[in-house]
A = this chain, B = another copy of it.
């Protein structure tokens, strides 16, 4: 039994704390505002490594796929703890407005078929038949297997599961590495402040996200996640049943600024109106900005920094997706076992190996 300190109460920290405590370790988690305080609270909740990863980011895709395989078991275990995190298997429809977008969908379809995944290339008409609410699209790509999770339910469920296993929650901001046999640094964009190896290697990536609700008489949200690139900017619409639609996300390099900007909100709404025109009459229920943790490449830093101190940060848009594999890796290390496939590539050791990664 190891005495473990986890710094950060977002999806990575909560998942790691829960899994470690459930495996018999003695866990303390430090965060001034666990569950609601970080980027995971503001996420869309897509668990879609393939439609996220551009061909070329093979390491990211491999780690994402490895984590995706763990997701159904992870969600089942969590449901047994008392709160169902709400895993939805509704799939993704990616839509194209012009020939450049359509070309990208062809590449994505080839890539998916290459790795044995189902993916149906659709005409604009077929896309509209699948999701009658979509606008005038040129073509589409239906990826039936994609999962999504209600990120807020998930965070509450992880917290409750941690409490079940006697994780101690210390609601304080940590300025230096806590004293413990093992420490996991999972403070997202702020992790760079906690360890010299990560200083400058982790940076905040600001993302604005909106939550909308259909008003009376409005077309209900689509039944699948819908993704598109509008005027060069990727957007997604993730339904939360019939009640809510999560619309994201801008991405800027803006330091630690979490202000929602006029431009960000306008661009998201404009884009969404092209993808799903009925959204124009939806209630704008929430506007928020979060700071994802960026690494120098797109891979996270998951692995040993120095004696007993592990990094678990830099997950970019993939924090929710990669939470199970990250937590499992930490538990494997604590128990002297081999970590899951694909984790080795995410070792922070790569920060020494090359000058610029």
Interchain nearest-CB distance for A116 vs B (Å) = 39
Interface residues of A in 278-300 (CB under 8 A from B): 279-284, 287
Q: Say if the beta carbon of A143 comes within 8 Å of chain B.
A: no
Binary contact track A213-227/B, C-beta < 8 Å → 1, others 0: 101000000000000
Number of A interface residues at 8 Å Cβ cutoff, please give it: 23
How distant is the Cα of A257 from the Cα of B215 in the complex, in angstroms?
Answer: 9
Interchain nearest-CB distance for A76 vs B (Å) = 36
How distant is the Cα of A213 from the Cα of B258 in the complex, in angstroms?
Answer: 13
Assess the B212–A262 pair: CB atoms within 8 A: yes
Among A213, A263, A266, A282, chain B packs the most CB atoms within 10 A around the CB of A266
Assess the A262–B287 pair: CB atoms within 8 A: no
How distant is the Cα of A260 from the Cα of B279 in the complex, in angstroms?
Answer: 12
Interchain nearest-CB distance for A290 vs B (Å) = 15
Q: Per a CB cutoff under 8 Å, which of B257, B261, B265, B281 touches A263?
A: B281
Q: Say if the beta carbon of A273 comes within 8 Å of chain B.
A: yes
Total copies of the chain: 2
How distant is the Cα of A273 from the Cα of B263 in the complex, in angstroms?
Answer: 9
How distant is the Cα of A266 from the Cα of B247 in the complex, in angstroms?
Answer: 14
Interchain nearest-CB distance for A221 vs B (Å) = 13
Assess the A270–B260 pair: CB atoms within 8 A: no
Q: CB-CB < 8 A to A283: which residues of B? A: 259-262
Q: CB-CB < 8 A to A280: which residues of B? A: 261-263, 266
Q: Say if the beta carbon of A272 comes within 8 Å of chain B.
A: yes
Q: CB-CB < 8 A to A287: which residues of B? A: 284, 287
Among A213, A261, A262, chain B packs the most CB atoms within 10 A around the CB of A262
Q: CB-CB < 8 A to A261: which residues of B? A: 215, 280-284
Q: CB-CB < 8 A to A273: which residues of B? A: 262-263, 266
Interchain nearest-CB distance for A355 vs B (Å) = 32
Q: CB-CB < 8 A to A282: which residues of B? A: 261-262
How distant is the Cα of A212 from the Cα of B210 in the complex, in angstroms?
Answer: 17
Assess the B259–A265 pair: CB atoms within 8 A: no
Interchain nearest-CB distance for A218 vs B (Å) = 10
- Chain B residue at smallest Cβ distance from A265: B284
Among A270, A273, A279, A284, chain B packs the most CB atoms within 10 A around the CB of A284
Q: Say if the beta carbon of A47 comes within 8 Å of chain B.
A: no
Q: Given that A259-B215, A260-B284, A261-B282 are contacting pairs, would A269 and B266 also be in contact in the complex, using a CB cutoff of 8 Å? A: yes
How distant is the Cα of A297 from the Cα of B283 in the complex, in angstroms?
Answer: 30
Q: CB-CB < 8 A to A270: which residues of B? A: 266
How distant is the Cα of A279 from the Cα of B263 in the complex, in angstroms?
Answer: 8
Q: CB-CB < 8 A to A262: which residues of B? A: 210, 212, 269, 272-273, 279-284
Interface residues of A in 236-277 (CB under 8 A from B): 257, 259-263, 265-266, 269-270, 272-273
How distant is the Cα of A354 from the Cα of B255 in the complex, in angstroms?
Answer: 63
Q: CB-CB < 8 A to A263: which residues of B? A: 269, 273, 280-281
Interface residues of A in 65-122 (CB under 8 A from B): none
How distant is the Cα of A262 from the Cα of B218 in the complex, in angstroms?
Answer: 12
- Chain B residue at smallest Cβ distance from A282: B262
Known: A213-B259, A262-B282. 17 other contacts (CB 8 A): A212-B262, A215-B257, A261-B283, A262-B279, A262-B280, A262-B284, A263-B269, A263-B280, A263-B281, A265-B266, A265-B269, A265-B284, A266-B266, A266-B269, A266-B270, A284-B287, A287-B287
